[in-house]
């Protein structure tokens, strides 16, 4: 899928900036400061004056954190797992050091609107691509990626099957390997690629028409083909969704 953000709606959040309430907008994979027409000029003037522009500081921090795997281990794993953050206690400074910290990541995840969801989607897409193409940081990041996939697959299956104590055994497979979800005596064995997060879960397709989606495909970014399973986990069926 060339455009990983296909099917993910745009969203906005507000920022107190320069005495006004400004808007930052996420759309087609990018975060934009809507109320600043001359971004480069404003940044230059702010630097000369020794001032900070909160909208741009937020965008800069987003850029620094968007590939931080901590985003996926700290963020909410769905509507039944709300992230409870006391923003006032974070003592966050946008102009802080470039070192990636949990505190800075949490501050982004506490931003209003659906921006935290879009941050998760961005991070998941970046690491799905790196798993396909290779990256120097994969060795250190892999345990966090596996934990992120495990947590979301587990919560999805528990809610969908109505089994709050369900146990799963997860294997994070490569992009071309066979996806597999089967019942065992101890629970459910799950074999999914990390890309399931960006292709399925982040789009809200994990459970569609009361069926578990294990893969989602599109050729025109409008119509989608979903590979789904029913609660018995042995009836793989294709569903086509076309909103037109």
pLDDT digits (tens, 9 = 90+) for 111-128: 777 888 999 999 999 999
Give the Cα separation of 10 and 56 in Å (integer): 19
Q: Kindly report the length of the chain.
A: 244
Residue appearing with tokens 């793989």: 236
> Would you call 145 helix, strand, or coil by DSSP?
helix
Strand order of the β-sheet with 168-173 is 168-173, 187-193, 180-184
**Any idea what DSSP says for residue 201?**
G
Q: Which of 117, 94, 115 is nearest to 104 (CA)?
A: 94
Residue 204 near residue 241, CB atoms below 8 Å: no
pTM, rounded to two decimals? 0.85
Residue 189 near residue 181, CB atoms below 8 Å: yes
pLDDT tens track of the chain, all 244 residues? Answer: 458 888 789 999 888 887 889 898 999 999 988 888 765 555 555 544 456 778 888 888 888 889 999 889 888 887 777 766 665 555 434 344 434 456 777 777 877 778 889 999 999 999 999 999 999 999 999 999 999 999 999 999 999 999 999 999 999 999 889 999 999 999 999 999 999 999 999 999 999 999 999 999 887 777 889 999 999 999 999 999 886 6
What is residue 92's predicted lDDT score, i.e. its pLDDT? 38
What is residue 198's predicted lDDT score, i.e. its pLDDT? 93
What is residue 110's predicted lDDT score, i.e. its pLDDT? 79
Any idea where the domains of the chain sit in the sequence?
Answer: 11-241
What is residue 89's predicted lDDT score, i.e. its pLDDT? 57
What is residue 54's predicted lDDT score, i.e. its pLDDT? 82
Rounded to 5°, angle at Cα 84 from 83 and 88? 130
Q: Which of 111, 94, 22, 110 is nearest to 51 (CA)?
A: 94
What is the H or E stretch that residue 131 is in? helix 115-133
What is residue 99's predicted lDDT score, i.e. its pLDDT? 41
- The overall average pLDDT reported for the chain is 84
**Any idea what DSSP says for residue 223?**
S
What is residue 78's predicted lDDT score, i.e. its pLDDT? 78
- Residue 51 contacts by C-beta under 8 Å, 6 or more apart in sequence? none
């Amino acid at each position: 899928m060339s455009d990983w953000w296909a099917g993910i709606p745009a969203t906005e959040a507000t920022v107190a900036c320069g005495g006004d309430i400004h808007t930052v907008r996420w759309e087609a994979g990018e975060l934009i400061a809507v109320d600043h027409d001359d971004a480069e000029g404003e940044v230059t003037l702010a630097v000369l004056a020794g001032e900070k522009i909160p909208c741009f500081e937020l965008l800069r921090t987003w850029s620094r954190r968007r590939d931080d795997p901590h985003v996926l281990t700290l963020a909410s794993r769905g509507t039944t797992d709300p992230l409870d953050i006391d923003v006032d206690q974070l003592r966050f400074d946008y102009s802080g050091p470039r070192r990636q910290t949990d505190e800075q990541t949490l501050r982004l995840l506490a931003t209003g609107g659906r921006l935290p969801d879009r941050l998760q989607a961005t991070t998941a897409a970046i690491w799905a691509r790196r798993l396909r193409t290779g990256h120097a940081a994969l060795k250190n990041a892999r345990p966090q990626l596996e934990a992120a996939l495990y947590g979301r697959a587990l919560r999805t299956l528990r809610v969908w099957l109505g089994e709050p104590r369900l146990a799963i055994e997860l294997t994070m497979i490569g992009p071309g390997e066979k996806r597999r979800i089967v019942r065992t005596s101890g629970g459910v064995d799950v074999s999914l690629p990390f890309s399931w997060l960006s292709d399925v879960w982040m789009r809200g397709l994990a459970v569609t028409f009361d069926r578990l989606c294990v893969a989602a495909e599109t050729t025109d970014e409008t119509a989608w083909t979903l590979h789904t399973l029913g609660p018995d986990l042995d009836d793989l069926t294709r569903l086509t969704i076309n909103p037109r």
